[in-house]
């Protein structure tokens, strides 16, 4: 498949998407041998289209869930959440989450981002600290990064921003904005607890190994940056928007209604 086939396949699905916002799908790059229609079918499964869109596709593709957001306010920085909601591919290159707010006027979009972020930040208990991960060693983490095969799927963070990105590799540039060393270590220790349908396998790292790897990837990030507690009214609005935008189709949360097919 030629280099332009992924954007063309997205167009095949009726997704008007800028080239810089093309999601990263392993195997769908310039080396793929899939025909355009086959690439479109693969994308429907990988982008979880059937989670929202009925009409037969739901019988072709197994339902995949998005990340568990039940404690997202505890493990992800508020600044990253706001940036990601405002423009997913800008905050995380290759992000698969669609920009559900792009059609809104600027003021409405900003208000929706603030409300959704307030709701998500509220998901996590301020009085419950993350597990006490022992302080990691970045040098050991560097060796582990090479040993377990992270470079097969991810860009090398040591190359810095000047390095030309590789289209088929997932960027790690957003990690320092998103996680603390502690919250990243918790994810690396049990990645499938948060991303049950995620591609990243559980390498069965020990807590020490997870802490070492996290310290290599986000050195010096001791804590997740917390926002001030939002007004209850804004949190309620964000919760209502979360349901209205059908976010529950990919991110199920306790006490929220089930997703609705479109």
For the cut 80, the answer to whether the pLDDT of residue 195 exceeds it is: yes
Name the pLDDT band for 3 (thresholds 50, 70, 90): very low
Specify the pLDDT at position 1: 44
Specify the pLDDT at position 216: 94
Rounded to two decimals, what is the model's pTM? 0.78
Give CA–CA dist 134/214, Å, rounded.
Answer: 11
Task: Give the mean pLDDT of the chain.
Answer: 79
Give CA–CA dist 199/100, Å, rounded.
Answer: 23
Name the pLDDT band for 168 (thresholds 50, 70, 90): low
Specify the pLDDT at position 4: 47
Show the tokens assigned to 83. 């940036």
Specify the pLDDT at position 43: 75
For the cut 60, the answer to whether the pLDDT of residue 106 exceeds it is: yes
For the cut 80, the answer to whether the pLDDT of residue 44 exceeds it is: no
3-state helix, strand, coil in the chain (%, to 5): 45, 0, 55
For the cut 70, the answer to whether the pLDDT of residue 189 exceeds it is: yes
Name the pLDDT band for 96 (thresholds 50, 70, 90): confident
Summarize the confidence of residues 163-181 as an average pLDDT. 78
Show the tokens assigned to 236. 């309620």
Summarize the confidence of residues 53-72 as an average pLDDT. 73
Q: Helix or strand or coil: residue 170?
A: strand
Specify the pLDDT at position 16: 46
For the cut 90, the answer to whether the pLDDT of residue 108 exceeds it is: yes
Q: Helix or strand or coil: residue 154?
A: strand
Interacting residues of 110 by C-beta distance below 8 A, sequence separation 6+: 86
Q: Helix or strand or coil: residue 116?
A: helix
Summarize the confidence of residues 61-84 as an average pLDDT. 86
**154 phi, psi to nearest 5 deg:** -120, 145
Domains of the chain: 5-47 (no CATH), 138-217 (1.10.760)
**207 phi, psi to nearest 5 deg:** -60, -35
Q: Which residue has the higher pLDDT, 100 or 238?
A: 238
Interacting residues of 188 by C-beta distance below 8 A, sequence separation 6+: 203, 205, 210, 213, 214
Q: Are 123 and 72 in contact (CB under 8 A)?
A: yes
**237 phi, psi to nearest 5 deg:** -65, -40
Of the candidates 200, 253, 158, 252, which has an alpha carbon nearest to the alpha carbon of residue 26? Answer: 200
Specify the pLDDT at position 47: 74
Specify the pLDDT at position 224: 59
For the cut 60, the answer to whether the pLDDT of residue 17 exceeds it is: no
For the cut 50, the answer to whether the pLDDT of residue 127 exceeds it is: no
Q: Range with the lowest mean pLDDT among 28-42, 98-112, 115-129?
A: 28-42
Of the candidates 28, 26, 25, 21, which has an alpha carbon nearest to the alpha carbon of residue 2? Answer: 28
For the cut 90, the answer to whether the pLDDT of residue 210 exceeds it is: yes
Summarize the confidence of residues 91-111 as an average pLDDT. 87
Summarize the confidence of residues 8-24 as an average pLDDT. 51
Name the pLDDT band for 89 (thresholds 50, 70, 90): confident
């Amino acid at each position: 498949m030629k280099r332009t086939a992924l954007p063309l396949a997205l167009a095949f699905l009726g997704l008007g998407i800028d080239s810089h916002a093309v999601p990263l799908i392993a195997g769908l790059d310039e080396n793929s041998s899939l025909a355009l229609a086959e690439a479109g079918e693969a994308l429907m499964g990988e982008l979880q289209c059937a989670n929202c869109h009925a009409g037969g596709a739901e019988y072709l593709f197994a339902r995949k869930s998005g990340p568990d957001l039940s404690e997202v306010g505890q493990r992800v920085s508020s600044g990253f959440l706001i940036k990601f909601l405002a423009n997913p591919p800008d905050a995380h290159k290759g992000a698969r989450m669609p920009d559900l707010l792009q059609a809104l006027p600027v003021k409405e979009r900003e208000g929706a981002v603030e409300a959704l972020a307030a709701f998500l930040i509220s998901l996590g208990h301020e009085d419950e600290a993350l597990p006490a991960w022992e302080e990691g060693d970045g040098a050991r983490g560097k060796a582990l990064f090479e040993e377990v095969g992270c470079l097969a799927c991810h860009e090398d963070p040591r190359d810095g921003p000047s390095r030309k990105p590789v289209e088929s590799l997932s960027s790690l540039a957003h990690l320092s904005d998103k996680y603390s060393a502690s919250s990243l270590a918790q994810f690396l220790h049990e990645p499938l607890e948060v991303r049950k349908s995620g591609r990243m396998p559980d390498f069965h790292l020990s807590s020490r190994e997870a802490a070492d790897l996290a310290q290599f990837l986000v050195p010096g990030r001791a804590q997740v940056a917390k926002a001030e507690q939002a007004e209850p009214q804004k949190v309620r609005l964000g919760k209502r928007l979360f349901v209205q935008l059908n976010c529950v189709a990919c991110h199920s949360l306790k006490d929220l209604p089930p997703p609705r097919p479109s």
